Amino acid sequence: MHLLISNIQWDDEGMGLEECALPTVVVMLDVPDEVDQVELEDNISETLSDSFGFCHNGFTWERLNPAHDTHAGGGYFPQRLGLMRWPEHPLER
């Protein structure tokens, strides 16, 4: 499954999202279906910080629905989009 992570409250150390180049929405790819919610949220939290180099003070997540903010061609184009992969992806081994 893929997740849509939003409402990320970055600790940008007062510099602002633009200056830090931080996304406001992140798609997390290839999340295993069998992960329990505690492990899921812990991995999202750790991967956000590791991927973008800043801590955060919370976020919301949901399964990615392909209808989110799409255009007629089916592409997904929210502003300030970031992508990250589940940390134990088989291609990274």
CA distance 14 to 90: 37
pLDDT in tens, 58-92: 999 998 766 655 555 555 556 666 767 777 655 44
Q: How far is CA 89 from the centre of its chain?
A: 15
pTM over the 0.85 mark: no
pLDDT in tens, 28-52: 888 888 889 999 999 999 999 999 9
Q: Say if strands 25-29 and 81-85 run parallel, antiparallel, or are unpaired.
A: parallel
